[in-house]
Amino acid sequence: MDIFEHMEAALSGLKSAGNYRVFAELERRNSAFPRATFYEDGGATRDVTVWCSNDYLGMGQNPVVTGRMVEVIGQCGAGAGGTRNISGTNHHHVLLERELADLHAKEAALIFTSGYVSNWAALGTLLARIPGIIVYSDALNHASMIEGIRHARCEKRLFRHNDPAHLRALMAADDPAAPKMVAFESVYSMDGDIAPIREICDVADAFGAITYLDEVHAVGMYGPRGGGVAEREGLMDRITVIEGTLGKAFGVMGGYITGPAVLVDFVRSFASGFIFTTALPPALAAAAAASIRHLKESQSERQAHQAAVAKVRSALDARGIPHKHNPSHIVPVIVGNASKCKWISDVLLNDFGIYVQPINYPTVPVGTERLRITPTPLHSDADIRHLVEALSALWSQCALARAVA
Ligand SMILES: *Cc1c(COP(=O)(O)O)cnc(C)c1O
């Protein structure tokens, strides 16, 4: 077999199935979010409004965050200079871990280079190194959790998405003496639905399982201090491990787990994906800590964000543009056809200066292709009008069904 021919064929397969990923080349402009510069193929540039960023609150350009990053680059320079174990642990990493443990009211926290790595390394390590452990994983868990679980090669059971009764049935069928973990998310990224955390914890408790909750899409966004959905619902103490990212609402980069000191020390001591990699740049850790601190105190970003989400939803409703009614900030506008979804996204970009990436299979099931719209406090009323009017025009052109109010 020719190795390179094999690669060409695999890529052609993606292209003919409509699943080949094309990146939009953007330049974010500080203090102008959600405006960005779009680089066309030929190198020409255009202004666009970004409607699909995970910088949900615009913290990536908040002067509290960028100012702190610049300040600490001045103090510490660019890189960390090593792994955490060999000369790379900076004072700012330690401060950030304290901030995170406090955010989730846990004994300890550990930071990783991304949320993906935190899930992969923490789940991979815990599940590989606790003899006989069985993991119960929500069927729609994120790829990073799935990879961590696969890597561990432990016993695993998939429970139907957000279904505590199915979880209970699976747990009841297993050896009562086996150690157990339930792994799930709070806000699911593509549908924006929220887990029944209390009910899942009740089942986990009944079978003596520890719980692992990915709050990546919720940290900074929900709860009086931005601790996530578990904080908002008064359930943080029911969760053994809360995992999050510093790259979405906190606007920077990195991931983390928080939990009991012994568990965090265990992951710190055994996780290859933590040990054998360069520590985050100190300025990035300090900027993330500034973002977390700010969102612990300030409600205004969260309130303005919720208001923007409500405005987008009601404007879509007024035009009959179908979107998933979920209890979160994620607004999935369902197109239900891969080529139409891609076409609408292209026309929005080229004719309307609106950037929303199409979300197609395998990220979502065939027939549920969508535009995943993420309003932010920095989108103006005029931005919202422009978006919804553009969508409405394209809905007519594509002869897509309208929702009935
Ligand atoms: C984005 C995401 C991650 C990964 O976080 P990064 O910091 O982007 O690596 C983990 N879990 C879920 C549910 C996510 O959507």
The percent of residues above 90 in pLDDT, for the chain, comes to 93
Q: Is the CB of 119 under 6 A from ligand 1?
A: yes
The Å distance, Cα 337 to ligand 1 centre, comes to: 26
Distance in angstroms (rounded) separating the CA atoms of residues 108 and 199: 25
Beta-bridged to residue 214, according to DSSP, are 185, 243
Indicate the fold that domain 61-297 takes in CATH.
Aspartate Aminotransferase; domain 2 (3.40.640)
Distance in angstroms (rounded) separating the CA atoms of residues 246 and 46: 29
Q: Is the CB of 90 under 6 A from ligand 1?
A: no
Contacts of 110 (CB under 8 A, 6+ apart): 97, 118, 122, 256, 257, 258, 264, 267, 268, 274
Q: Is the CB of 245 under 6 A from ligand 1?
A: yes
| Confidence tier at 402 by pLDDT (50, 70, 90) | confident
Please give, one letter per residue, the 3-state secondary structure of 84-137.
Answer: HHHHHCCHHHHHHHHHHHHHCCCCEEEEECCHHHHHHHHHHHHHHHCCCCEEEE
Counting Cα atoms < 13 Å in the Cβ hemisphere of 15 gives 7
* Catalytic residue ranges: 248
Q: Is 246 helix (H, G, I), strand (E, B) or coil?
A: coil
Distance in angstroms (rounded) separating the CA atoms of residues 331 and 316: 10
pLDDT in tens, 32-50: 999 999 999 888 999 999 9
The number of the ligand 1 atom at minimal distance from the alpha carbon of 245 is 7
323 closest CA partner among 374, 265, 399, 366: 374
The Å distance, Cα 122 to ligand 1 centre, comes to: 14
Domain residue limits, the chain: 25-50+300-398, 61-297
This model's pTM is above 0.85: yes
Task: State phi, psi for 276 to the nearest 5 degrees.
Answer: -100, 45
Cis bond before residue 34 (omega within 30° of 0): yes
Q: Is the CATH code 1.20.120.330 the one for domain 25-50+300-398?
A: no
107 closest CA partner among 236, 293, 254, 217: 236
| Confidence tier at 182 by pLDDT (50, 70, 90) | very high
Q: Is the CB of 247 under 6 A from ligand 1?
A: yes
| 56, 187, 191, 248, best to mutate for ligand 1 pocket (most atoms within 8 Å of CB) | 248
| pLDDT number for residue 108 | 99
| 213, 216, 248, best to mutate for ligand 1 pocket (most atoms within 8 Å of CB) | 216
The Å distance, Cα 171 to ligand 1 centre, comes to: 27
- Mean pLDDT, the chain, integer: 97
Q: Is the CB of 215 under 6 A from ligand 1?
A: no
| pLDDT number for residue 405 | 57
Q: Is the CB of 114 under 6 A from ligand 1?
A: yes
Q: Is the CB of 258 under 6 A from ligand 1?
A: no
The number of the ligand 1 atom at minimal distance from the alpha carbon of 188 is 13
In whole angstroms, what separates CA 394 from the centre of its chain? 29
| pLDDT number for residue 362 | 86
| pLDDT number for residue 195 | 98
Cα separation values, 26 from 9, 39, 72, 323, 351, Å: 29, 6, 26, 27, 17
Nearest Cα residue to atom 5 of ligand 1:
115
Q: Is the CB of 55 under 6 A from ligand 1?
A: no
| Confidence tier at 18 by pLDDT (50, 70, 90) | confident
The Å distance, Cα 392 to ligand 1 centre, comes to: 31
Cβ–Cβ < 8 Å for 317, 397: no
The percent of residues above 70 in pLDDT, for the chain, comes to 100
pLDDT in tens, 314-346: 999 999 999 999 999 999 999 998 889 999 999
The number of the ligand 1 atom at minimal distance from the alpha carbon of 141 is 13
| Confidence tier at 17 by pLDDT (50, 70, 90) | confident
pLDDT in tens, 193-245: 999 999 999 999 999 999 999 999 999 999 999 999 999 999 999 999 999 99
Q: Is the CB of 189 under 6 A from ligand 1?
A: yes
Nearest Cα residue to atom 6 of ligand 1:
115
Both tokens assigned to 5:
């021919």
